[in-house]
């Protein structure tokens, strides 16, 4: 993996611009980023500290915490062509209501005959089964089983099947499953908010983990089922372990601060009993600002943007002068970061979009670069995984001989098109029936609109 990444670093000449890696929690991810660090120093004489640049996918962290709650150390599962052994069934049964439901679902869906018998009780509705990779499959399995029609069918089916007598769910088991479902709901909501929200960024990681930790603590205090309280404690411990690992990188705290709706006020409120955490975080974020972004020069990107704007039409001299006065109304000797932190929080729905606005780019030319770099980081690796999943639509049975370079090109083009990075006015489409003059006229109209 390291060599594959280094190949692109060499090709694009970005050895001095390598940023952060959002990865899962497998140990080989540490090995990979350590190797990249060594290669960058050896080949390009670029120092790259792997520890602060190694970020952890929030989705994987949530998955680990929830799976710790549900089953702890996972019992051995069935092979693709073999049913569960008696020992495996017993291992799952010892997990309580959730393990018994797993046994029922596996047994029911294992053969077409059993599945047909069950669906006759539900007017064609099937059970939903958990899987090895995603915790929300357990959430969906429990949610579906709790529906009145499915619950009634499970009760009848278990009564008819001798092999399921020991797995039949009692009234207390159903109460436990209902509480498990209620406990998992905030995890499901948090996952959806971070993986499917176009405005989500790494600035949402600490608030999300705080939300889930508080939820676990409240649920543990309110539950009347002792073994569920123990399961919740293991989930809290797992999530807390990964919360502490966020200290390895100042980016998590910096992202929270760069969100104008949060700034340091969020941590001072949330961590008010952990003043040493706040001071340590402030020191590391300030160090990141001073050593990487703080500069006495203005931002080239902003100057370039101004030049492009002036080429489009003659600028109004008065408006230009007023913008310059507004941009310098505060003391330019003041530190950008300190000025920003002193200002009150504001309600902003999209922090990255706010920092991309010209007003912020002019007023905070260097701090805006820091904010854009950091807030561009997604909280999860979901989008990358989604891209891999979509590629199966490209690699059909009829395209099995397609080369990897061709797949790369197609997937990049599709991704860019979906993200609006490529707009029609910048494309040269060969449309049937269009003359060169017609295309030129269209381009001229597009330029005027721009």
pLDDT of 303 over the 50 cut: no
Name the more confident of 440 and 257.
257
Mean pLDDT value of segment 98-121: 90
pLDDT of residue 438: 43
pLDDT of 49 over the 80 cut: yes
Answer yes or no: are the C-beta atoms of 57 and 23 closer than 8 Å. yes
Q: What is the C-alpha separation between 205 and 62, in angstroms, rounded?
A: 11
Residue with tokens 């990897």: 404
Question: pLDDT by residue (tens digit) across 238-287?
Answer: 999 999 999 999 999 999 999 999 999 999 999 988 889 999 999 999 99
Question: pLDDT by residue (tens digit) across 208-248?
Answer: 999 999 999 999 999 999 999 999 999 999 999 999 999 99
Residue with tokens 């930790």: 213
Q: What is the C-alpha separation between 256 and 283, in angstroms, rounded?
A: 14
DSSP 116-183: HHHHHHHTTPPPP---SS-THHHHHHHHHHTSHHHHHHHHHHHHH-GGGGGG---HHHHHHHHHHHHH
First to last CA, the chain: 42
Mean pLDDT value of segment 416-431: 60
Which of 44-58, 295-309, 398-412, 429-443 holds the top average pLDDT? Answer: 44-58
pLDDT of residue 410: 82
Q: Residue 447: pLDDT band by 50, 70, 90 thresholds?
A: very low
Count how many residues are written for the chain.
450
Q: What is the C-alpha separation between 28 and 143, in angstroms, rounded?
A: 35
Question: pLDDT by residue (tens digit) across 88-109?
Answer: 788 888 888 999 999 999 999 8
Question: pLDDT by residue (tens digit) across 174-196?
Answer: 999 999 999 999 999 999 888 86
pLDDT of 429 over the 70 cut: no
Q: Is 262 helix (H, G, I), strand (E, B) or coil?
A: coil
Answer yes or no: are the C-beta atoms of 235 and 313 closer than 8 Å. no
pLDDT of 72 over the 80 cut: no
pLDDT of 369 over the 90 cut: yes
Helices and strands in the chain: count of H runs, count of E runs: 24, 2
Question: pLDDT by residue (tens digit) across 381-414?
Answer: 777 777 777 777 777 777 777 777 888 888 888 7
pLDDT of residue 289: 95
What is the pTM for the complete model shown? 0.80
Mean pLDDT value of segment 298-321: 57
Q: What is the C-alpha separation between 23 and 2, in angstroms, rounded?
A: 13
Answer yes or no: are the C-beta atoms of 63 and 87 closer than 8 Å. no
């Amino acid at each position: 993996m390291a060599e594959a990444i280094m190949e692109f670093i060499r090709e694009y000449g970005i050895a001095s611009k390598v940023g952060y890696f959002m990865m899962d929690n497998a140990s080989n991810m540490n090995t990979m980023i350590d190797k990249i660090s060594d290669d960058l120093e050896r080949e390009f004489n670029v120092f790259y500290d792997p520890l602060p640049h190694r970020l952890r996918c929030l989705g994987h962290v949530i998955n680990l915490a929830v799976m710790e709650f549900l089953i702890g150390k996972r019992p051995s599962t069935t092979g693709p062509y073999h049913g569960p052994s008696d020992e495996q069934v017993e291992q799952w049964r010892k997990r309580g209501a959730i393990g018994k439901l797993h046994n029922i679902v596996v047994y029911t869906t294992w053969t077409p005959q059993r599945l047909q018998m069950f669906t006759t009780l539900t007017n064609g509705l099937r059970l939903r089964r958990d899987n090895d990779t995603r915790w929300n499959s357990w959430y969906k399995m429990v949610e579906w089983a709790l529906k009145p029609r499915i619950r009634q069918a499970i009760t009848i089916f278990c009564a008819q099947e001798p092999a399921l007598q020991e797995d039949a769910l009692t009234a207390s088991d159903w109460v436990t499953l209902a509480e498990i479902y209620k406990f998992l709901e905030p995890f499901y909501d948090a996952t959806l908010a971070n993986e499917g929200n176009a405005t989500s960024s790494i600035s949402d990681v600490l608030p999300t983990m705080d939300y889930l930790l508080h939820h676990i603590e409240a649920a543990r205090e309110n539950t009347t089922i002792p073994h569920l309280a123990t399961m919740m404690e293991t989930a809290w411990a797992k999530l807390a372990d990964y919360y502490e690992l966020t200290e390895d990188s100042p980016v998590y705290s910096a992202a929270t601060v760069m969100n104008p709706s949060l700034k340091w006020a969020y941590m001072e409120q949330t961590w008010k009993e952990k003043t040493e955490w706040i001071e340590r975080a402030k020191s590391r974020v300030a160090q990141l600002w001073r050593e990487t972004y703080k500069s006495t020069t203005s931002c080239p990107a902003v100057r370039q943007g101004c030049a492009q704007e002036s080429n489009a039409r003659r600028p109004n001299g008065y408006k230009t002068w007023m913008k310059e006065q507004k941009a310098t109304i505060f003391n330019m000797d003041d530190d950008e970061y300190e000025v920003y932190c002193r200002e009150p929080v504001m309600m902003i729905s999209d922090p990255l979009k706010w920092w991309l606005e010209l007003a912020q780019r002019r007023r905070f030319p260097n701090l805006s670069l820091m904010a854009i770099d950091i807030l561009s980081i997604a909280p999860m690796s979901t989008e990358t995984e989604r891209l891999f999943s979509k590629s199966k639509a490209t690699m059909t049975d009829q395209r099995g001989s397609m080369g990897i370079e061709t797949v790369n090109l197609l997937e990049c083009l599709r991704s860019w098109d979906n993200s609006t990075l490529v707009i029609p006015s910048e494309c040269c489409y060969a449309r049937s029936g269009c003359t060169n003059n017609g295309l030129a006229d269209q381009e001229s109209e597009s330029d005027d609109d721009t």
